[in-house]
Amino acid sequence: MKSAQPNLHLDTLAIHGGQSPDPVSGAVMTPIVLASTFAQDGPGVHKGYEYSRTDNPTRRTLEHCLASIEGGRHGLAFASGCAAMTTLLHVLRPGDHVIAGDDLYGGSFRILDKVMKPMGIVTTQVDLTLASRLEAAIRPETKLVWIETPTNPMLKLIDIAAIARICKGKSIPLVVDNTFATPCLQRPLAMGATLVVHSMTKYLNGHSDVVGGCIVTSDDEWNTKLRFLQNAMGAIPSPFDCYMVLRGLKTLPVRMERHVKSAGSIAAWLEAHPQVEKVIYPGLASHPQHALAKEQMKGPGGMISFVVRGGAPAAKALLETVAIFACAESLGGVESLIELPAVMTHGAIPAAQRAELGITDGFIRISVGLEDEGDLRADLANALEAAKLAR
């Protein structure tokens, strides 16, 4: 069976990575194998598959594709981004210490704070925009460093190569949540990260119709541990969802190009709008890490955060007025989404911590979709007019 070579370009791997026409029928698309179990010629004599929690042909194809696009040796798919994270964190033992960035998806924070902490795994959150802050936070029992970059929702950037160098010096594995950037814009493994995680729910699937997650690594030992936990804990995606993500991945590079282009022009337009107090987008010269964005990323992404003048009433009016943007959690789909992190995606973060980060009542996050850029701007202009009148 011919299979795509790993030295091909990302655009090719997104379509062919881990895939080849079905040897039985010649079907060019990966079959969805729904079987929960696989016939064995005799006890323990099988064709590589025993039971679908352990391994499944559709999932294995997706896992190969994910590994190929992230430039890793091993890919593992899970039922959600949170399932991927929870499974990974179960490698740790009571007494182990985690250092995480200070700005994380609310659900990721909740796993560390409400699931792992009661199990004796303590996390220290540090603003790692200055990589040197990591060293001061490392303890003898630090077993993992966990970062998002760009972060959710503040869009802060963390210097992956600098953090990876410090981690390597102390033999601490570095996990990078690459959900916001995708491998199209950022390759953490090539910059020294040990593991990459994704919420596949977002850009990788790209159509807001699957919840999924994944981990990619080139480390054989990590792969063995994670594969054990993937089977033992069982937080696996369905074959149908695996097929859907494989299908979505084929257009990932094309979609990312358009997300970046539209987000760039909408961010600049928002920054000039009188009703907007502040815009955060790594592609703007006003972003404190604009230089790092250019160095570390191939493009500044499709996510924009901004503060609307007028606080909570203005934000409420804006989110109730938009017509093309949907007021909804999540991101990375073909359709544009708008949300209020303080109430929606980051409600799990304590109010004081939110305030310290700058997640105020007028702080809005948008996921720029693939609609006509002018239509999106007009939709925001109309909603910003409503925000101006709100009190």
Identify whether 170 is a catalytic site residue.
Answer: no
Q: Which residue has the tokens 């790594």?
A: 282
Identify whether 53 is a catalytic site residue.
Answer: yes
Residue 129 in the binding site for ligand P1T (CB under 6 A): no
Whether 124 and 133 have beta carbons less than 8 Å apart is answered as: no
Measure the CA angle with vertex 362, ends 358 and 367; round to 5°.
Answer: 85
The CA distance from 56 to 48, in Å, is 9
**Three-state secondary structure call for residue 226:** helix
Residue 302 in the binding site for ligand P1T (CB under 6 A): no
Residue 113 in the binding site for ligand P1T (CB under 6 A): no
Identify whether 202 is a catalytic site residue.
Answer: yes
Measure the CA angle with vertex 365, ends 362 and 371; round to 5°.
Answer: 130
Residues in a beta bridge with 225: none
Whether 296 and 159 have beta carbons less than 8 Å apart is answered as: yes
Residue 211 in the binding site for ligand P1T (CB under 6 A): yes
x/- map, 250-269, ligand P1T, by CB under 6 A = --------------------
From the CB of residue 46, how many other CB atoms can be counted at a distance below 10 Å? 13
Minimum distance of ligand P1T from residue 209's CB (angstroms): 13
- Of 150, 180, 377, 154, nearest in space to 266 by CA: 377
> Which residue number, 107 or 299, has a Cβ lying nearer to ligand P1T?
107
> Which residue number, 108 or 230, has a Cβ lying nearer to ligand P1T?
108
Residue 62 in the binding site for ligand P1T (CB under 6 A): no
x/- map, 331-370, ligand P1T, by CB under 6 A = x-------------x-------------------------
CA atoms within 13 A on the CB side of 118: 4
Residue 178 in the binding site for ligand P1T (CB under 6 A): no
Catalytic residue positions, numbered: 53, 105, 177, 202
Instruction: Write out the residues near ligand P1T by the rule CB under 6 A.
Output: 80-82, 105, 107-108, 148, 152, 177, 179, 199, 201, 211, 213, 329-331, 345
